[in-house]
Each structure stands twice: as C-alpha cells, then as structure tokens.
Structure 1
Amino acid sequence: MFGELSKVALREIWPREASDFTPWLAENIEELGKALGMELELIEQEASVGDFSLDILAKDLGSSKSVIVENQLTQTDHDHLGKLLTYAAGFDASIVIWISESIREEHRQAMDWLNQRTDNETLFFGVVVEVIRIDNSRPAFNFKLAASPNEWQKNKKRQTQRSSVSTKGEKYQNYFQSLIDTLRDAHRFTSAKAGQPQNWYSFPSGFSGLTYGANFAQGGKARAEFYIDLGDKDKNKYVFDQLHNQKEKIESELGEAISWERLDNKRASRLALYTDGVIDDSDAELERIKGWHIDKLLKLKSLLGMKIGQLAKSATSM
C-alpha cells in the first residue's frame, strides 16, 4: 500500500560542493527562504572576504538585512564554524545560515548559545539538507531546521528593547505583520513570517532585482508598487521603458491607470498605484488599506509575472 522511503547520499546528487551544490542552492535560494519563513534574494556567489570566499551572500527582502550562507555536504566541523563567524563579521551580517548534511550536537549548542547571547537583530540558523525518494521515484530535497533563534528568548529581549522602538514603528510592524500573514496564509503570495518596524515591505518576483512592494509613502498616501533595481541604472531604465511601451495594454488589463515613475535622477524605477492612507489612521481605515494592498499586489503579480522574465534576462545580458 505504501512505498518505502529512503535517503539519498548528497554527493550522489551534488558530487562537488563548490561547483555543484552551491550553484544549485543559489538557484533555489527562495526555497531555503520558505523553510526559514523569509524572502531571500541572491546577491552574490563566492563573495570575497579577505583571502576567503563566502558560499552565498543574500538579502532578506522583508527587512533588507544581509544574509550569509555557508554550506557543506558533510557533517558540520570546527573549520566551517570558524569560517561562518569570520564571514558574519566581514559582511556585518544580521542573518547567518549554516547548511550541512548533519549538525553535530556541540555545533548545535554553539549556535543556540550565539542566539541566546546576541541581540534581537542577529539570528543564527542551522539547516540540514536531505534528499529522499519513495521506492524508485525521482529524488526530492528537504530543508530541516536544526538550530534557530529561541523565540522565547528573543521575545524577552524585545520587551526590554521596546522603548527603543517608536510608537509609529510598532504600528508599522503590526500593520505589516497582519498584511504578510494574510498574504501568506490566504493567498500563498509570500513565505515571510515577521513584520518589521518600517514603512515598507518587499516581496520577490522570482527574478533578482525585481520586487513587489507595499509602502506608506509621503503625502498621506499608501503605495503598491513593482520596483526595478537590477543594480545598474541603464538596465533598470531599459526594463522600465520596455514595460512603458506596453502602457496602454498593461493599464487596460489592470483596469486602472498606473503611475509610471522612471525616476531619472535615481538608479531604480517603479510602477506604482496609490490610495489615501497613513499609519496613524483608525483601525477600520487601516483594514481598508490592508485590503487595498492585498488586491493591488495580487493584480500586479498576476499581470506582470509573465512579462518580466524575458525582460530581466535581456537586461542582464546588456
């Protein structure tokens, strides 16, 4: 009735760590983010730190915090632990992820100790990667969280640090927590789990440098946007201009006008939609804005998702 579940040796799938596993992980960085409740975006592979090279440098889109990922296809060892701490210092990382075939108990304890001793802005994760199959099925990968911040300890620290977060910051955090919870649970739009005390939140499009965003902008406006920042001004303007050439078709499909903001004096560009609203509005009004944000983000992703892939590839090859 049931098939037999078996583990596959990692090196059967990825013979070499640097040339096989790290590139695969970079391509599947969003899947790692889902396992951790984050929206991870790749920044660089083999990023230099003095004479060493970090496997993966990434960013958590929801908080813009820097993320380092060190991986190995064997059990954890002291050498990689030392490298992990060196890379964390070198990149001033807020989120530190150690991926391995298995985690030794003393290394799990070390990561637990680091999470207990560091502040609320520094998070250490130990992740086990495994490959499994049922009978003779195709292999499937799985990320298992083996070490993570103790939420009770972190929450306790939040209580003592609350005075350092402004009342408005708490309102933003509460608003975006509610927004991402609904987008995640009801619409599977995001895997993010933690709101931040800031006036914006970004979500991946599936293409590095292209994101969807919910914001509270200046002038008493709330904004939903498609944000273009491939790291190069000319590439950004190219993607924007190619989309702008389809303005009438895009707006017709969306059912409303878009604010086309090329931002010639800045590197990035964006397509934006606006509604009245500020974070100090009443609970009822914030609920309306939340519904508006959800509706516009879903429509923007549905409309642009099929259009931006080729544009991103064309811009990257410029």
Structure 2
Amino acid sequence: MFGSLNKVPLRNMWPHEALNFTPWLAGNVDSLGLALGLELELIKEEASVGDFSLDLLARDLSTSKLAIIENQLTQTDHDHLGKLLTYAAGFDASFVIWVAESIRDEHRQALEWLNNRTDTDTQFFAVVVEVLKIDDSKPAYNFKPVVFPNEWHKSKSKRTASNQASPRGEKYRSYFQGLIDDLREKHHFTAAKAGQPQNWYSFSSGVSGASFGANFCQGYKVRTELYIDRGDAEENMLLLKYLEQEKSTIESELGQPLSWETIDGKRATRVALYRDGFIENPNSELEAIKEWHISNLLKFKAMFTKHLREFNK
C-alpha cells in the first residue's frame, strides 16, 4: 500500500557546494523563507565581508531587515559557526540562518544560547535540508528547521517593545496582523506571521527586485502596489516600461485603470491602485479596506507574476 521513503545524500544532487548548492539555494530562497515564516528576497550571492564572502544576503520584505544565509552540504562545523557570527556582525543582520545537511548538537545548543541571550532584533535559525524519494519517484527537497528563536524567552521583550509603540503604531500592527493571517490561512499567499507597527507590508513576488505591497498613504488613501526596486534606477524604469506594454490587457483583466509611477526622490517605480481610507477609520471600514487589499493583492499576483518572470529571462 505504501512506498518506501528514502533520503538521498545531498552530494548526489549537488556535487559542489559553491558551484551547485549555493546557486540552487539562491533560486529557492523564497521556499526557505516559507519554512521559517519569513518573506525572503535575495539581494546578493557571495556578498563580501572583508576578506570573506557570505553565501547569500537576503531581505525579509515584511520588515525590510537583512537576513544572512550560510550553507553547507555537510554536517555543521566550527569554521562555519565562526563565519556565521562574522557575517552577522558585518551586515548587522536581524535574521541569521544556517542551512546544512545536519546540525551538530553543540552547534544547535550554541544557536539556542544566542537566541536566549540576544534581543528580539537578532534571531538565529538552523535548518536541515533534506532530499527525499518514495521508491523510484523524482526527488523532492524539504527544509526542516531545527533551531528557532525562543519566543517564550523573548516574550517579555516583545511585550515591552509592543508597549513602546505609539497608539497608531498598534493600530497598524493590528490591521496588518489580520491581513496577513487571512492571506496565509485562507489564500496561501504568504508565510508571514507577525504584523508590524508600520503603515505598510510587503510580500514576495517570487522574482527578485519586485514585491507586492499593502499601504496606508498620506492624504487619507490606501494603496495596493507592485513595488519595483532591482537596485538600479534605469533597470527599474525598464521593467516599468516593459509592463506598460501590457497595460491594456492588465487593466482590462483588473477591470479598472492603474497608476504607473516613478517615485519622487527614489530610484524605485511602482504600479498601484488607490482608494480612500485611514487607519483611524471605524473597524467596519477597516474590515472593508482589508478585503479590498486582499482582493487586489491576489489579482496583482495573478496578473503580474508571469510578466515579471518573462522580463527576468
């Protein structure tokens, strides 16, 4: 009735760590984020820290905080632990992620100790990557987190930070917590789990340099957007113009016109949809705004993802 589940040695899939495994992980950093409850977007491979090179530098879109990722095809070792801490300091990273074939007990204990001793702005993760087959099936990969931040230990600090947020910041946190919970649980749109006391929230598009966003703007407006920042103003404009070639088709599918924008004082560009709204609105109106955000985020993902991937090619 059942097949036999077998684990495939990682080197059968990726013979060389730097040449094979790191590039593969770079292309699947969003899946790694999904396993950790983060919205990870790759910034750079082989990012320099002095004479050393970090495997992957990424950003959590929901907070705009940096994540460093060090990977191994083997069991963890002391050399990589030292590098991990060096890179964390060099980039002032908020998320420190160690991916390996297996995690030695002493290294698991070290990361748990760091999670217990550091503040809530620095979080350490250890992740085992597995390749599995059922009988002669195609191989499938799995990210299995084995070290998470100790939320119980840090809960007092989190409550303190929460108490320090302004009343309006708490309203933003509450609004976006409801938004991401619905997007995660009902629509499988995101892996994000924690609302922030800020007037925006970004979600991965699966394509580096482009993200989907829900915002409260100045002037009593709210916005759903595709935000474009590939690190270069000219390339951002090229992508905006590329998408504008499909403007009539995209707006026809959406059922209303979009705003195609350059952003004053920034290299980024965006495609956006607006409506009236304010975080101080009554709860019934905020609920309507949340449904509007959800509906349009889903539409944006369906409409833009294929065009973004085609541009990347």
| Shorter-chain TM-score above 0.5 | yes
Residue 121 of structure 2 corresponds to: 121
Comparing 299-308 and 54-63, the one that deviates more: 299-308
TM-score if structure 1 supplies the norm length?
Answer: 0.95
Query: C-alpha separation between the residues in 1 aligned to 2:245 and 2:136?
Result: 50
Residue 194 of structure 1: SS of its match in structure 2?
coil
**Is the counterpart of residue 161 in structure 1 residue 145 in structure 2?**
no
Change (3 A) 1:10 1:249: closer
Tell me the equivalent position of 1:75: 75
Q: Secondary structure at the match of 1:188?
A: coil
Distance in 1, Cα, partners of 2:24 & 2:294: 32
**Within the alignment, does 1:52 sit opposite 2:41 as a pair?**
no
**C-alpha deviations, 1:2-28, integer Å up to 9, x for none?**
111111111111111111110110011
**2:5 counterpart residue number:** 5
SS at 1:251's partner residue? helix
Give the Cα–Cα distance (whole angstroms) in 1 for the partners of residues 129 and 266 of structure 2.
41
Spell out, residue by residue over 1:187-233, the C-alpha distance to the aligned partner (whole angstroms, 9 max, x if none).
11112112111111111112101111000011011100111111111
Q: Residue 22 of structure 1 aligns to which amino acid in structure 2?
A: T
Q: Residue 27 of structure 2 corresponds to which residue in structure 1?
A: 27
Q: Report the aligned-residue RMSD.
A: 1.3
Deviation at 1:307, TM superposition (A): 2.1
SS at match of 2:223: strand
Where in structure 1 are there 5+ consecutive unaligned residues?
314-318
SS of the residue corresponding to residue 206 of structure 2 reads strand
CA positional deviation for 1:284? 1.1
Q: 48-57 or 249-258: which moved more?
A: 249-258
* Aligned pairs for 1:221-240 within 5 A: 221-240=221-240
Distance across 1 between alignment mates of 2:162 and 2:205: 33
1:72-151 equivalences under 5 Å are: 72-151=72-151
**Residue identity matched to 2:173:** Q
Q: Which residue of 2 aligns with 1:316?
A: none
Q: How does 1:229-268 map to 2 (within 5 A)?
A: 229-263=229-263, 265-268=265-268
- 1:139-218 correspondence to structure 2 within 5 Å: 139-218=139-218
Q: In the alignment, which residue of structure 2 is the partner of 1:301?
A: 301
How far off is 1:257 after superposition?
1.5
The amino acid across from 1:307 in the alignment is H
Aligned-pair identity in percent equals 62
Structure 2: gaps spanning 5 or more residues: none
CA distance in 2, matches of 1:47, 1:247: 36
> Which residue in 2 is equivalent to 1:273?
273
One-letter amino acid matched to 1:110: A
Q: Residues of 2 paired with 1:161 and 1:134: CA distance?
A: 47
